[in-house]
Amino acid sequence: NMVGHMAQHFVRHTGRKGRPSKKVLTGEAFEEIKRLERKYVKRLPIGKEEPMKKEKTKTWYKKKLDKVFSQYIREKAEKDGIILCYICGKRLTMSTAQCMHYVGRANLSTRWDEENCRAGCSSCNVFKNGNYPEFTKRLLEDIGTKKLKRLIEKGREVRPWTIEDLKNEINRYGE
């Protein structure tokens, strides 16, 4: 840390017979370290038990929305405590099901689109890379060709999300 680094520069070695035996801070060095502590060491606000909290970033809100949206998609697919994988039909629980995206998550314009997402198993979602042939077949049956084409085109659009947009979606889907 900065204070420890600066302290090394202000240490005077003293000892018997001219040999250094222990490190002692000089008065000037001690004052410099105190000054650096005031500048770099975060102090608790007076009368508060915890330090002041940092503002949450857009990345934090994206992660939060991912969590609540995934929960929403899985709850939507749940019937009597069981979720069937959208692609292969495997029986899953809330904790084992995943939120699968037809148009990849990197595309923010469709990342939190309900038509783009379905609950599924890790085998189809991860190990079979989304199992797109079967995913496409089932989506065509569910939403039709016109909506699927619109979804793919929407995925090519650039959607700038503000923190306020993300907060609104978090409130819409979850907490």
DSSP 20-46: --EEEE-HHHHHHHHHHHHHHS--PPT
61: enclosing H helix or E strand:
helix 58-77
Alpha-helical runs (H) found in 78-175: 122, 132-156, 163-173
Give me the amino acid identity at 149.
K
Provide the pLDDT for residue 38. 75
> What is the 3-state composition of the chain as percent helix, strand, coil, each rounded to the nearest 5?
50, 15, 35
Which residues have a Cβ under 8 Å from the Cβ of 108 and sit 6 or more positions away? 158, 159, 161
- pLDDT reported for residue 21: 46
Residue 12 has what pLDDT? 47
CB distance 175 to 68 below 8 Å: yes
The pLDDT score that the predictor gives to residue 165 is 96
Q: Nearest CA to 128 among 70, 78, 85, 69?
A: 85
- pLDDT for 71: 96
pLDDT at 84: 97
- Residues of the chain under the 50 pLDDT cut: 6-7, 9-15, 18, 20-21
Structure tokens at 11: 């240490």
In the prediction, which pLDDT does 14 show? 46
The per-residue pLDDT for 44 is 60
